[in-house]
Amino acid sequence: MTRELLVFKSKRLQIYGVAFLIAFLFLSNQKALSQDNDSVMADEPSLSPEISFEGEYEKSNENWYSPMNELGITGSLRGGYWSSNRLNNNENNLITSSTWLTLDKRLRQGLTLYADGYIYNQDTFGSESSDHRVKEIYVHFRSGDWDYRLGRQIVAWGRADRLNPTDNLTPRDFTLLSPEIDEERMGTEAVKISKVFGMHSSITGVWLVNFEPNQLPPANTPGLQFVHNIPEDHHQYAIKFDQSGGNVDWSISYFSGFDLNADLAITGTSGADILVQQQYNKVNIIGADLATIVGSNRYAIEAAHTETKDSSGLDDFIKNSFMHVVVGIERDFGNNLSAIVQGIYRKIDDYKDPREIVNESQRAVASLGALANHQLDKDEYGISFRVGKKWLNDTLEAEFAASTLLQRHGYAVRPKVTYSINDHLKATTGLEYFDGASDTIFGLQKNNKSAFSELRYFF
């Protein structure tokens, strides 16, 4: 880690620490005022059409009281076991531990302070030291038909199930050892403003002040040394028109900013190794989604066209422009049983097969970059499937998820069982399994297959 990055993280930690301290002192003085306004705020409709990712502890603490809850603070203590990490190495049998905290406090009518973060250690009894992350910390203000959000926040777009072509604004940490997929989401410093029109329509504008990429498992490819190149120009913006609450929900969006996933480029050599720079280039993305319910079925389609920096497809080290489409159907069978099936399609513009590059080094790097970015084939087809079932008054829940590519037949499966023991304890166990040839995205993750268990205590 460079000295500049350490200084940056240290300054950010100081800022967040001061912010939390000011918030805590302010909330202590505002207790009576906020209690008077809670009944008013409870009747206000939500102005944000986007997906809500509430923490599990929020749902588990409806009947739980503590002095921290009066200040709007909830959280959980977590301990778990993972037979492998998500770093593509040979580290096994890891004991994880973490503390998660959320501050969700209405300061006065229309004004809310929200913060969410955690301290964690993904190898408690090993050599790894504890780390921390502030996922979100923002001020949320509502006034009439206007909705304002300022600060570090998650912006999640899309109506498909977990595979969202239009969800390009804020990153995920795919190395985090958590049974809950949505907890991989990370926030970015941003300003978000929404305006509601009538009963069902809204327009949202987002200005992203900072850029952070997806955190992916390292490739750990022999002969290659990787270096990150984070853009210094953080100018990014997005706009979306959304129609929600009618017979058909739909939206159309536009994003101009940086790609959350890196392109790979050769920058030189170091001894016998090739130096590979992970660079995050500018993209422009036009997207749309649509969903409707007919009887017991929910139908959804989501698509986005990404125009990359290499719009002509001439640069072997920048991904080509492409179209990404997800079509799905979800059925509720009753008795707490549901299933979702989705078809996945990617079409690469101006496609050239990187495996046909003559130079061996260039071929190796370009092929790895194309594989990681789903551009090894001109057309890529895939299927995802998820089925869920609940028992015992929704306290016991089982889920089985799987996905596969129809080229080269890589696949992943993820069964998971969750049991809410009581209002304060929840146990989860499951399996993540990847398989496929080395030229498939799932084959690259073979070392990350893992059995896991976790126990959470909510307070």
pLDDT in tens, 44-75: 334 434 433 334 334 444 455 566 777 889 99
Phi/psi-derived region of residue 376, left when phi > 0, alpha when psi is between -120 and 50, beta in every other case: alpha
Per DSSP, the residues of 4-57 read: HHHHHHHHHHHHHHHHHHHHHHHHHHTHHHHHHHHHHHHTSPP---SPP---HH
240 with 251: CB under 8 angstroms?
A: yes
In whole angstroms, what is the distance from residue 40 CA to residue 106 CA? 11
Residue 15 has pLDDT above 90, yes or no: no
Query: Cα torsion at 185, 187, 193, 194 (round to 10°)?
Result: 10
16 with 137: CB under 8 angstroms?
A: yes
β-bridge mates for residue 78, sequence order: 98, 456
Residue 252: what are its φ and ψ, rounded to 5°?
-135, 140
In whole angstroms, what is the distance from residue 458 CA to residue 426 CA? 8
Ranking 42-51, 216-225, 407-416 by mean pLDDT, the lowest is 42-51
What is the bridge-based pairing of β-strands 224-229 and 273-279?
parallel
Average pLDDT, the chain: 87
121 with 104: CB under 8 angstroms?
A: no
Per-residue DSSP letter, 215 = B
Say what the pLDDT of residue 225 is.
Answer: 92
- Can you tell me the mean pLDDT for 27-48? 39
Say what the pLDDT of residue 67 is.
Answer: 66
Say what the pLDDT of residue 409 is.
Answer: 83
Q: Which helix (H) or strand (E) holds 360?
A: helix 360-372
What is the bridge-based pairing of β-strands 337-348 and 379-391?
antiparallel
Say what the pLDDT of residue 438 is.
Answer: 87
- CATH classification of the domain holding 416: 2.40.160.10
As for how many domains the chain has, the answer is: 1
In whole angstroms, what is the distance from residue 162 CA to residue 184 CA? 12
Say what the pLDDT of residue 52 is.
Answer: 39
Ranking 39-48, 222-231, 448-457 by mean pLDDT, the lowest is 39-48
Residue 437 has pLDDT above 80, yes or no: yes
In whole angstroms, what is the distance from residue 423 CA to residue 458 CA? 8
Residue 214 has pLDDT above 80, yes or no: yes
Say what the pLDDT of residue 73 is.
Answer: 94
Per DSSP, the residues of 59-92 read: HHTTT---HHHHTTEEEEEEEEEEEE-SSSS--E
The per-residue pLDDT for range 257-278, each reduced to its tens digit, is: 999 999 999 999 888 899 999 9
Domain range spanning residue 452? Answer: 3-458
Ranking 22-36, 284-298, 329-343 by mean pLDDT, the lowest is 22-36
Q: If DSSP codes are grouped into helix, strand and coil, which group holds residue 371?
A: helix
Residue closest to 219 by CA, chosen among 449, 444, 411 = 444
The CA-atom distances, in angstroms, between 298 and each of 295, 339, 399 are: 8, 10, 18
152 with 133: CB under 8 angstroms?
A: no
Q: Which helix (H) or strand (E) holds 364?
A: helix 360-372
Q: Read off the pLDDT band of 158 (50, 70, 90).
A: very high
Please write down the long-range contacts of 9-12, taking CB distance under 8 Å and 24 or more positions apart: 12/134
Residue 27 has pLDDT above 90, yes or no: no
Say what the pLDDT of residue 120 is.
Answer: 96
Indicate the pTM of the whole model. 0.85
